[in-house]
């Protein structure tokens, strides 16, 4: 099945960007290809450009599997999976953790597929028509190539709607353990709930940043906002933080956090969990003249796309401004955005404007991003979604 693109719309494909928008399509050989069907993308003159998955409902009408004319079949996906596994081996990820991302969508040449490993369990997320089409094949291959027998599916993300897909969760292969999976990250243990937890269970993308924050936390009074199951809190406590206050709106996440403190034999008397809304609590702390030596802000995605950027910018500025006010002199702000709609340059501007309005000087001492198991293909800059700054208040 062949699709011809409008003249000029082949350019992004020639730069190896994997998305084709509906407006780029000039004509199609068949009126209505099936959801996820493999199609050939041709220029307006009929030159072969790429082989892709067709998505009938999404604005992103096709996502490229390959820029060559190799067949897209089971062996194709085996090659992709092997390459992704080898990339993780090269970066020696297993020396840091037994939980890491094996497949990261477009950046691993498999749009729509995210696969995370939690010890002897894989969690698969399928977000596009194309990944849905090949899901069973990829599940078989994952078992064959990793030797891991258990795969749980967490395809319960809103973006599936755009592809005309309903949320799906459940066992894809093998079994799910009755209890939580205890993973190890830089010698610290975390209980992960792959069935009920956020995303696939754990925010694997923050691994290196959690480690770095641990190194900086010694003897500090730490406020960890949007703490989830305590990633940053556990690293801070383990590295000698004087006190850690962890805030999240999810009682389930905080219960796991408490369990993680016990799991690592950390001094529970130095830790406090607080269930609540960070926006309100930061104001309450300001009004009560509370202060901290280190504040971590790792909020959820405020701007999934650029269309949400303005509203998201206000929310980022709000919490960062309050954080600057609550920090003592020499205090450290560790601040993140995982919003695709806010790029690194805009994020830095927001933080600068927050410092200005808080009436403080601050300097960036480090830039942070997602871990090496969440690679960013040079041809797919959208893959770089996580950005963070470590700032010291002057
Ligand atoms: N830093 C964490 C991941 C944070 S994810 C880690 O390393 O594991 C974002 C968290 O923010 C989620 O746990 C979610 O429950 C929480 N959250 C979302 N909105 C919130 C709000 N307004 N106030 C407090 N917590 C919120």
Residue identifier of the C-alpha nearest atom 11 of ligand 1: 226
Given a cut of 90, whether residue 147 has pLDDT beyond it is: yes
Structure tokens at 29: 């050989």
Residue identifier of the C-alpha nearest atom 6 of ligand 1: 231
Strands across the sheet with 2-5, in order? 19-21, 60-66, 48-54, 38-42, 2-5, 25-28
Split at pLDDT 50, 70, 90, the class of 304 is confident
91-129 pLDDT, tens digit each: 999 999 999 999 999 999 999 999 999 999 999 999 999
Position of tokens 């509203």? Answer: 311
Q: How far apart are CA 250 and CA 177, in angstroms?
A: 23
Q: Stretch 290-309: mean pLDDT, rounded?
A: 93
The predicted model scores a pTM of 0.96
Given a cut of 90, whether residue 306 has pLDDT beyond it is: no
Q: Which atom of ligand 1 is nearest to the CA of 250?
A: 15
Split at pLDDT 50, 70, 90, the class of 47 is very high
Q: How far apart are CA 364 and CA 384, in angstroms?
A: 20
Q: Which atom of ligand 1 is nearest to the CA of 300?
A: 9
pLDDT at residue 68 in the model: 98
Position of tokens 């590295």? Answer: 239
End-to-end CA distance of the chain: 62
Q: If you average pLDDT over every residue of the chain, what do you get? A: 97
Q: Any residues with Cβ below 6 Å from ligand 1, and which?
A: 198, 203, 206, 210, 226-229, 231-232, 247-250, 253, 277-279, 298, 300
Structure tokens at 368: 């942070």
Helix axes 344-358, 309-326, angle to 10 degrees: 40
Residue identifier of the C-alpha nearest atom 15 of ligand 1: 250
**Among 232, 56, 46, 236, which residue's Cα sits nearest to residue 133?**
56
Query: Chain centroid to CA 286: how far?
Result: 31
CA of 143 to the centre of ligand 1 (A): 32
Q: pLDDT higher for 108 or 304?
A: 108
- Where in 43-178 does DSSP place strands (E)? 48-54, 60-66, 99-104, 113-118, 121-126, 150-155, 168-173
Pocket mutation for ligand 1, best pick of 189, 196, 199, 228 (most atoms within 8 Å of C-beta): 228
Q: Which positions ≥6 away from 265 have C-beta within 8 Å?
A: none
pLDDT at residue 177 in the model: 87
Q: How many CB atoms lie within 10 A of CB 34?
A: 13
Q: How far apart are CA 335 and CA 102, in angstroms?
A: 26
Instruction: Give the strand pairing for 181-185 and 188-192.
Output: antiparallel
Instruction: Name all domains of the chain by residue range, CATH numbers in brackets.
Output: 2-66 (2.30.130.10), 74-173 (3.30.750.80), 203-393 (3.40.50.150)
């Amino acid at each position: 099945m062949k699709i011809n693109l409008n003249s000029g719309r082949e350019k992004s494909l020639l730069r190896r960007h994997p998305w084709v928008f509906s407006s780029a399509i000039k004509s199609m050989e068949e009126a209505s290809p099936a959801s996820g069907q493999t199609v050939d993308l041709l220029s307006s003159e009929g030159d072969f450009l790429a082989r892709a998955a067709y998505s009938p409902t999404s604005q992103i009408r096709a996502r490229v599997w390959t820029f060559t004319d190799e067949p897209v079949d089971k062996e194709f996906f085996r090659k992709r999976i092997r390459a992704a596994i080898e990339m993780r081996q090269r970066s020696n990820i297993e020396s840091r953790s037994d939980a890491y991302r094996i497949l990261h969508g477009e950046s691993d040449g498999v749009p729509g597929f995210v696969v995370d490993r939690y010890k002897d369990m894989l969690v698969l997320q399928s977000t596009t028509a194309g990944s849905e089409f090949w899901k069973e094949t990829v599940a078989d291959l994952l078992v064959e190539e990793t030797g891991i027998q258990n795969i749980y599916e967490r395809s319960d993300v809103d973006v599936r709607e755009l592809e005309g897909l309903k949320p799906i969760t459940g066992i894809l292969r093998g079994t799910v353990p009755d209890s939580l999976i205890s993973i190890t990250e830089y010698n610290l243990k975390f209980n992960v709930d792959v069935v009920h937890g956020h995303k696939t269970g754990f925010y694997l993308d923050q691994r290196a940043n959690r480690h770095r924050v641990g190194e900086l936390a010694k003897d500090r009074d730490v406020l960890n906002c949007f703490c989830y199951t305590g990633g940053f809190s556990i690293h801070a406590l383990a590295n000698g933080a004087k006190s850690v206050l962890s805030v999240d709106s999810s009682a389930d996440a905080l219960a796991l956090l408490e369990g993680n403190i016990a799991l690592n034999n950390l001094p529970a008397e130095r830790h406090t969990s607080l269930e609540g809304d960070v926006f309100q609590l930061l104001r309450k702390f300001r009004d009560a003249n509370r202060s901290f030596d280190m504040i971590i802000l790792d909020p959820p995605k405020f701007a999934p796309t650029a269309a949400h950027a303005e509203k998201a910018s206000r929310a980022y500025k709000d919490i960062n401004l309050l954080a600057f006010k609550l920090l003592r002199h020499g205090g450290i702000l560790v601040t993140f955005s995982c919003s695709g709609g806010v790029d690194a340059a805009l994020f830095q501007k927001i933080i600068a404007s927050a410092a200005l309005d808080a009436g403080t000087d601050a300097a960036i001492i480090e830039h942070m991003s997602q871990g090496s198991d969440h690679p960013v293909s040079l041809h797919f800059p959208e893959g770089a979604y996580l950005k963070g700054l470590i700032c010291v208040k002057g």
